[in-house]
């Protein structure tokens, strides 16, 4: 059955003195009633917002609890791996009398290469301390729902940078020192950590905030669908100095997973691990990554530059 609708032509004529007019006329009591209804609506919205926030916090706490429960097992597995695959102690990096540099026997920089890397380290430290780190602090201050992690180590150690450059220059490489340095974009590096529910929107917003600070986005790599490492890594350049730096975007769990599996990653990148160990290292990283909750919308964030696809 339809609902009869009162059209204007059918409405009764209500005079100012009619009971209906008096009943419908605005009064202080009526206005107060409307205000109460409005306040009730505001209270309802506030309650709904509070419920949503609590629900998200509870879900994220469950993810964190499940991860915390798994960590001791992974740590024990890693200790067992080290027992079965002991590596020789790494030799201390050395600067020789002629100005050359060496580490681990096979990593070498000539005097000229070592001097060029030293100059880049000095330029990176200056830009990092005086430009990039203050800008990252400003970006962080714009939203209290996420935070910077690992600020004590945002500058890569000189010898660690030289190890990476020397590895890039290892024969039969034909790279120049400048090209090798450009292949190591994390002399200055930062990590922003988000809750799972705010991750995707937070990353998009913070990418724009970094651009607003005057930094130029060079690359964005989304690996949330990969099985070895989950997160988003970006590379940026500081225009004045030309220094490149890295910003990683993680959830708290994916950040802790990255830290947990970092030694495995280093062994995989090195030249000492044999095939059987490499298979086990990859299996370890996959097992760690499998325990990471993928935030809603994270896989929709596109790589930059866009990946070239066949066809």
What span, in angstroms and rounded, lies between the C-alpha atoms of 204 and 194?
Answer: 12
pLDDT in tens, 48-86: 766 566 767 777 888 899 999 999 999 999 999 999 999
What span, in angstroms and rounded, lies between the C-alpha atoms of 128 and 161?
Answer: 15
Ordered by start, the domain boundaries in the chain are 37-77, 118-300
Mean pLDDT of the chain: 86
Q: Read off the tokens for 307.
A: 């990946």
Per-residue DSSP letter, 295: P
Q: What is the mean pLDDT of residues 4-30?
A: 38
Q: Per DSSP, what are the bridge partners of residue 208?
A: none
> Hey, what CATH topology would domain 118-300 get?
Beta Polymerase; domain 2 (3.30.460)
> What pLDDT was estimated at residue 38?
56
* Residue 96 · residue 102 · CB < 8 Å: yes
Could you tell me the pTM of the whole model? Answer: 0.81
* Residue 279 · residue 255 · CB < 8 Å: no
> What pLDDT was estimated at residue 101?
98
DSSP code string of 170-196: -TT----HHHHHHT---SBEEEEEE-G
Q: For residue 135, is pLDDT > 70?
A: yes
> What pLDDT was estimated at residue 17?
41
Q: For residue 105, is pLDDT > 60?
A: yes
> What pLDDT was estimated at residue 16?
38
What span, in angstroms and rounded, lies between the C-alpha atoms of 309 and 223?
Answer: 16
Q: Which of 26-30, 150-154, 217-221 has the lowest mean pLDDT?
A: 26-30
């Amino acid at each position: 059955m339809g609902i009869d609708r009162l059209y204007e032509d059918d409405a009764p004529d209500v005079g100012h003195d009619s009971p209906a007019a008096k009943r419908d006329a605005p009064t202080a009591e009526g206005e107060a009633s409307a205000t109460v209804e409005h306040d009730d609506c505001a209270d309802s919205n506030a309650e709904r917002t509070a419920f949503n926030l609590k629900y998200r916090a509870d879900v994220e706490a469950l993810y964190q609890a499940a991860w915390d429960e798994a960590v001791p097992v992974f740590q024990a597995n890693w200790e067992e791996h080290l027992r079965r695959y002991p590596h020789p102690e790494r030799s201390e990096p050395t600067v020789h009398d002629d100005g050359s540099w060496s580490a681990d026997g096979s990593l070498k920089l000539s005097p000229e290469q070592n001097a060029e890397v030293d100059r880049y380290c000095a330029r990176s430290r200056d830009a990092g301390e005086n430009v990039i780190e203050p800008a990252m602090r400003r970006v962080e201050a714009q939203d209290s729902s996420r935070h910077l992690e690992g600020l004590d180590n945002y500058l890569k150690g000189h010898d660690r940078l030289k190890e990476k450059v020397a590895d890039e220059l290892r024969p039969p490489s034909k790279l120049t020192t400048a090209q090798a340095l450009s292949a190591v974009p994390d002399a200055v590096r930062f990590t922003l950590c988000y809750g799972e529910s705010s991750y995707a929107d937070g990353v998009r917003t913070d990418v724009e905030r970094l651009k607003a600070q005057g930094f130029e986005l060079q690359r964005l790599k989304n690996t949330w669908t990969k099985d070895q490492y989950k997160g988003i890594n970006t590379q940026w350049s500081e225009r004045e100095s030309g220094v490149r730096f890295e910003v990683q975007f993680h959830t708290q769990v994916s950040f802790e997973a990255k830290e947990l599996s970092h030694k495995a990653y280093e062994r995989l990148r090195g030249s000492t691990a044999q095939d059987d160990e490499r298979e086990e290292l990859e299996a370890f990283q996959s097992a760690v990554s499998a325990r990471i909750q993928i935030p809603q919308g994270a896989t929709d964030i596109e790589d930059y530059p866009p990946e070239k696809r066949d066809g």
